Structure 1
Amino acid sequence: MATQTPLVNRDRLDRHRRRAERIGGDFFLHEEARLDIQDRLSMVNKSFADVAIVTGFPTLWKTWFPDATIISDTDTLGLAEQSYDLVIHAMSLHWANDPVGQLIQCNRALRPDGLMLAIFLGDETLKELRISLAEAEIAISGGLSSRVLPMGEIRDLGGLLQRASFALPVADKMVRKASYKTLNRLIYDLRSMGETAALSQSSRRFTPKSIFNLAETIYSEHYSQDGLLIATFDIVCLTGWAPDDSQPKPLLRGSAKARLADALGTNELKLRS
């Protein structure tokens, strides 16, 4: 029986991350994620004593959360069951070959009423680059290669929490824009964060410079402002709680004690049987 090839080549991803650490670039997307997580935690009326952070950049996140246990984002997470009251999946779920499996493992690692926050890149990320590269490659080579990681839409991502059996699931996102003088500078920033393509099915052939030159022209014509290329970064956050009897439950059907018509100040329409 044939084994399905994983979407992401983990060896290639690890090499890209090691290169990013050597470059020592600006991890501004991780910084945005860190600030968003801290803001969310400040609004939770609960303290967290045992925290685990799942990430592909352990040194970076350990600096920000020195008391946390850092876990590598491998396919099988090193999380002991019911050992934490907070698990943060930090900027790596979009690289998971099995995102639902990752969330299930996070859920199992939580004690009852423990919190999970997963923050990662969503489907609008680099939409300008995707379109420009695709149009350029089709125009020059007549075909299309897998170059940019496919990412989930917010309407689908919320369902992952329910499939992973989280209580009180919430999915939301924030959109950030960055500007670049050249396409090379954008690609350098992506390399500096380990966010360049690590797909198993991506082409190993050298990409002609002509494709990048045409892509930059298309990018500049359609997605620029004041002479700068605009890049979109879509940062999604999934929030879920490990089930516990203390959590609010939905009312049973037919148990309401007030009518919607009364609340809206309207007359109730009665249908003939």
Structure 2
Amino acid sequence: MTMVPGSAVATAKSMYMLAARGRISTQFSIVASPLSSMPSLTIFDRVGKKRQRARAATKLDWAEYEYLRAEVAKRLVDRLEDIMRDFPQALELGAYGPHIAQEVNAVKGLNGKGGAGGIETLVRCGLTEEGLLPASMTSKSVTQEGNAKILNLLGDEEHLPFSPASFDLIVSNLSLHWINDLPGAMTQARDVLKPDGVFLASMFGGNTLKELRVAFQLAEQEREGGISPHISPSAHVADCGSLLQAAGFALPTVDVDTITVSYPDALVLMEHLQGMGESSAILTRRPYVSRETFLAAAAIYQDLYAEADGSVPATFQVVYMIGWAPHDSQPRPKKRGSGRVSMKTLQKGASDGNGGGPAR
């Protein structure tokens, strides 16, 4: 799919609903976050990412850069609607912007209760207060309008502050690719799901911004005689199913969308990434990149990828993951050896002319 920035701005500027900031309904038990337990491998600067997203959300033109999140939120909720059951209590993990809440409240549940997926209460757990309520949005109470009640809570995806079996559904929209301990965070998500609950998430995959990565590598090699990381590493599609299984999810499903967005040039692309709060947050990134290197990267990008009209494409690979918290009612593989064929069956198949195979 090809998009042009601005096509989803109307969606991002639609009604935004917010309940009391920093509070959560007493029906959810909150436990202390294990802030002292840091992941063994730290790739991303989470404090820096928090600062980037807070800064982006305070801009009055914030909505103009939200076309990707708005589009992917719609596709996520479409996948939720394909599951023919209700999820009364839901958690949005890594909430940033109103997109999931808007899509949930846009329709009624299957049984006339709640919004999309039968969600009656959606708890939005976000890293920054600014991301939960961007500057360009209006705060409104959801207790009197909307199909689902929206509650908000400041929280880190790496340290979930909820008791086990608190939610029927966890949904996450383009947030997980900034987590250091992704297997650990997904394991925590499984723990706070009720048995047979659903984990539904989108994140950027390894082919995202592949054009910009190549342009920076060539520019730095030419201007500075070496390369450094500018584009954040992301999980490859082939690894996502293993991540779901390692986190203890049953019936894992992974699928991929490739969204191509056209920009006037690479410098505009980089401006939009900053506006999205998606600038690099790698701990080993260079603190300063020269103007000459930036211009060289933009020129190389133009030379390698320019379209007939002079615009340049940017690839965003979106990986969707679905996993279920284990439950006895779910289908299970048969026991090892249960599919063996007896000698008697083989002999009968041979006598029937099946070439020694089992009779059909």
TM-score (norm 1): 0.89
Between 1:221-230 and 1:45-54, the stretch displaced more is: 221-230
| Alignment match, 1:96 | 179
Tell me the CA shift for residue 229 of structure 1: 0.7
The CA distance in 2 between the partners of 1:48 and 1:221, in whole Å, is 49
Change (3 A) 1:39 1:257: farther
Answering whether residue 52 of structure 2 is matched by residue 16 of structure 1, we say: yes
Tell me the CA shift for residue 4 of structure 1: 6.1
Between 1:159-168 and 1:22-31, the stretch displaced more is: 22-31
> In the alignment, which of 83, 86, 93 is matched to residue 47 of structure 1?
86
Tell me the CA shift for residue 132 of structure 1: 0.4
| Mapping of residues 54-73 of structure 1, within 5 Å | 54-57=93-96, 59-65=98-104, 67-72=121-126
Contact residue 176 and residue 232 of structure 1 kept, 8 A: yes
Contact residue 41 and residue 180 of structure 2 kept, 8 A: no
Tell me the CA shift for residue 165 of structure 1: 0.6
The CA distance in 1 between the partners of 2:82 and 2:339, in whole Å, is 30
> Helix, strand or coil: the match of 1:225?
coil
> In the alignment, which of 29, 37, 55 is matched to residue 76 of structure 2?
37
Change (3 A) 1:5 1:81: closer
| Mapping of residues 215-234 of structure 1, within 5 Å | 215-226=297-308, 227-234=310-317
> Helix, strand or coil: the match of 1:68?
strand
The CA distance in 2 between the partners of 1:160 and 1:153, in whole Å, is 11
Contact residue 93 and residue 120 of structure 1 kept, 8 A: yes
Change (3 A) 1:34 1:269: farther
Tell me the CA shift for residue 5 of structure 1: 6.6
TM-score (norm 2): 0.68
| Alignment match, 1:27 | 66
Tell me the CA shift for residue 60 of structure 1: 4.9
What are the ranges of 5 or more consecutive residues in structure 1 without an aligned counterpart?
none
> Helix, strand or coil: the match of 1:12?
helix
For 1:179, the aligned partner's letter is S
1:224-253 deviation line (CA, Å, top 9, x unaligned): 212111100000011100001111112334
> Helix, strand or coil: the match of 2:58?
helix
Tell me the CA shift for residue 72 of structure 1: 2.8
The CA distance in 2 between the partners of 1:268 and 1:239, in whole Å, is 43
Number of corresponding residues: 262
Tell me the CA shift for residue 62 of structure 1: 4.0
For 1:161, the aligned partner's letter is L
For 2:305, the aligned partner's letter is Y
The CA distance in 2 between the partners of 1:58 and 1:219, in whole Å, is 30
State the structure with bigger RCO (CA 8 A, min sep 6), 1 or 2: 1
| Alignment match, 1:208 | 290
| Alignment match, 2:142 | none
> In the alignment, which of 71, 85, 101 is matched to residue 168 of structure 2?
85
The CA distance in 1 between the partners of 2:327 and 2:41, in whole Å, is 38
The CA distance in 2 between the partners of 1:250 and 1:214, in whole Å, is 55
Contact residue 82 and residue 108 of structure 1 kept, 8 A: yes
Tell me the CA shift for residue 147 of structure 1: 1.3
What are the ranges of 5 or more consecutive residues in structure 2 without an aligned counterpart?
1-38, 106-120, 128-155
The CA distance in 1 between the partners of 2:44 and 2:104, in whole Å, is 28
Tell me the CA shift for residue 78 of structure 1: 2.3
The CA distance in 2 between the partners of 1:65 and 1:200, in whole Å, is 35
For 1:70, the aligned partner's letter is R
For 1:20, the aligned partner's letter is A
For 2:50, the aligned partner's letter is D
For 2:283, the aligned partner's letter is S
The CA distance in 1 between the partners of 2:186 and 2:223, in whole Å, is 41
Tell me the CA shift for residue 268 of structure 1: 5.3
> In the alignment, which of 210, 215, 220 is matched to residue 127 of structure 1?
210
**Aligned structure 1 segments of 4 or more residues deviating by more than 2 angstroms:** 58-67, 251-259, 267-270
> Helix, strand or coil: the match of 2:65?
coil
Contact residue 41 and residue 181 of structure 2 kept, 8 A: no
Give the percent of matched residue pairs that are identical in Structure 1 and Structure 2: 32
